[in-house]
Copies of this chain bind each other. A is one copy, B any other.
Amino acid sequence: MNLYLAATYIIDARYGRNGQFEADDNSVRLYNLYTHWLPKLVTYFFLLLLLSLAIFEKPAVPGLEIEYWVTMPMELICLIVIGSRLFHLKLFSPGRTFYSDKKNIVVLATIVIVVIDMITYIALVNSGQSMYAYRWSRPLRPLILVNITEGRQIRRAFRNIRRTLPDILNVLVLFFLSIALFALMALKIFERRPELRLYTDNSPYFKHYGDIYFQLYVLVTTANSPDIMMPAFDSNKWFSLFFIVYLVVCLYLFMSIILAVIYKNYRRHLKNEIKKSVFIKRVKLNRAFDELKEQQDGKSVVTEKTWNAVMQEVLPNRNQVYYSLLWMVLDKDGNGYIDQNMFLQVADLLNVEVSEVRNQKHLIEKFWPHIYNSSVSIAVRQVVMHKFFRYFFDLAIVVNAFFIGFNLDEAEWFFLSVFTCEIILKLYTYGFREFCRRFWNIFDFIVISAAFIATIIEAALEELQYSRETLDVLLVLRILRLLKLVGSIDRFKIIIGTLTNIAPSMFTYGGVLFVFYYVFAIIGMEVWGTMLSGNVNVTFCNNPALIGTEFARDHYCNNNFSDVLTSFVLLFELMVVNQWHVLTSGFEAVTSAWARLYFVAFHLLVVIVVLNIFLAFILEAFMLESSLSAGKFSNAVEEKIKEMGLWVSK
């Protein structure tokens, strides 16, 4: 009976981890070190550092440029840390599982490629060939983020995307074929009509097939509607029929179908993922059971003694009372042992949150009991707990909103004191622990105390110099205060509840988007870099190729790839879609029509695939939200606790 090994299996099952390791003591210890939070945090830190090098490398964010002979050693350190983490993994991996795992191979290959790139770069620069020196391996960096053990959530999202692709490919092919047919029709109908006026930017109207194809693709994104129709429409109103039919087919039908196909596949894969994770849990728990089992009445069972022993390894921070509680839930018939079937439910049982209410006293009650229990104090606490107390401060927020709206800044000190009072009174009545249990209390605390500190700083500096940035922060904090009102309206609670539940998964999609953004930003910077900029002259973005273009006329010069942060903003604008064809036209003007490929690829990948998968995720989250109920185990635990007379209602 190896308690340490069994405890490791149980912890793996509890957190749904699927680490493979040899069963010998040394490997298990290495595995537990590997899953410890500290090495994880270190890896995250260096990964983040590696990715954020893009801020300092050329083309760098203005003022933050660092020479390559500084960034490269930093990069090397990051790679070494990540490499040693891989080496750590290799140490306890059984047999050939390390090399048969594609993730590890991808990370290793990426490291090797980056090192080769670094060497070539240094060699080229120092041999005076710096015009050929490109850091072409930089877009590969996110590969490490996705394939490292810690990137499990993001990797899962990517797997989802990869599996959905074949299914939407059919629809996409049909979609592109439809555009091809419509483009051919448009060419045939409009090329024989030289009387149609030009676009407002004097470019020819529907003359070349490739151009029409691109324009119609842009029309599906609605970015050039209705401008693309107007020349034809001005000549004959019936031409609008062509565009209406086109939009109904390619926008309303195809885009809906793409979402439908993505949603369908998303659900299918979600089901598979859940099945798989349940399977992994069972495997781990079976292994743990094999380690812990004893023979009793001819059956393999786990006894209470073994249970208590292994629980001390699994949950060293909990006490015997908790272990016994869990045991009582598991050992329903009270015969002193549990069989394999019951043992398989340990993982879910451990995830039920049971918080012990230590019989703690309010701090003030502890030190000054006569004050805390005085009649005034009791009255105050009763007032605070009354619903009119909440109504009063909700009203205060509304009044505050008007004061902010009408720029009556003199009252700010008053409101700040009122809301500070509210927090102090609540803290006094409920105690710190209870106060922190509610999301809106913490929100309130942060917003008010930050405003308090900023106001003091502002007051202190007032005679010296007025800082607009402090004022901005203060204003935002003041207005955020109003948000609390939303939290106190019952009808919004379900929506906000759902949102807070799915927030962690939403961050996963943020990670996926970050990966796409990073790759596209680095490529964009390598291709366009400082070809255009808005720093010196915004009328033509410092590039004569842009004189008189719509890009310059719309003042889009600052939307460029001059550094990684600006690139991210530009890519965000492209994700929002509107005017993306104008942005494209600018970068097309300074290079060639091939630039369209970059922008269309971004639109296809990010807007059509990733955003639709995100939408599918939200749809499913709201579908599940209503059908979710408290799991059977949290009920079983609650019952046992009540049975034992230890229940304290909130």
Residues of B within 8 A of A416 (CB): none
Residues of B within 8 A of A475 (CB): 185, 188-189
What's the Cα separation between A579 and B222 when bound, in Å?
Answer: 9
Residues of B within 8 A of A86 (CB): none
Contact A252 B622, CB 8 Å, known A170-B491, A495-B174, A566-B237: no
> Does B189 lie within 8 Å of A472, measured CB to CB?
yes
A621 at interface by CB-CB < 8 Å: yes
Q: Tell me the residues in window 563-589 of chain A with beta carbons closer than 8 Å to chain B beta carbons.
A: 565-566, 569, 572-573, 576-579
Contact of A534 among B227, B234, B257, B261 (CB under 8 A): B234
What's the Cα separation between A321 and B234 when bound, in Å?
Answer: 63
What's the Cα separation between A579 and B582 when bound, in Å?
Answer: 14
Tally of A interface residues using CB under 8 Å: 82
Ordered by A's residue number, 18 sampled pairs between the chains whose C-beta atoms are within 8 Å are: A173-B492, A174-B486, A184-B479, A188-B476, A188-B478, A192-B471, A197-B555, A200-B553, A200-B554, A230-B554, A230-B556, A237-B565, A240-B569, A244-B569, A257-B495, A257-B499, A263-B622, A263-B623
Which A residues contact B (CB, under 8 angstroms)? 170-171, 173-174, 177, 181, 184-185, 188-189, 192, 197, 200, 209, 222-227, 229-231, 233-234, 237, 240, 244, 247, 251-253, 256-257, 259-261, 263-264, 401, 404-405, 468, 471-472, 475-476, 478-479, 482-483, 486, 491-492, 495, 499, 534, 538, 553-556, 558-559, 565-566, 569, 572-573, 576-579, 611, 614-615, 618-619, 621-623, 626
Residues of B within 8 A of A256 (CB): 614-615, 618-619
> Does A482 lie within 8 Å of B252, measured CB to CB?
no
What's the Cα separation between A496 and B623 when bound, in Å?
Answer: 28
> Does A468 lie within 8 Å of B192, measured CB to CB?
yes
Minimal beta-carbon separation of A5 from chain B (angstroms): 44
What's the Cα separation between A225 and B556 when bound, in Å?
Answer: 11
Residue of B nearest to A553 (CB): B200
> Does A257 lie within 8 Å of B622, measured CB to CB?
yes
Residues of B within 8 A of A224 (CB): 578
> Does A569 lie within 8 Å of B233, measured CB to CB?
yes
> Does B576 lie within 8 Å of A251, measured CB to CB?
yes
> Does B622 lie within 8 Å of A264, measured CB to CB?
yes
> Does A170 lie within 8 Å of B618, measured CB to CB?
no
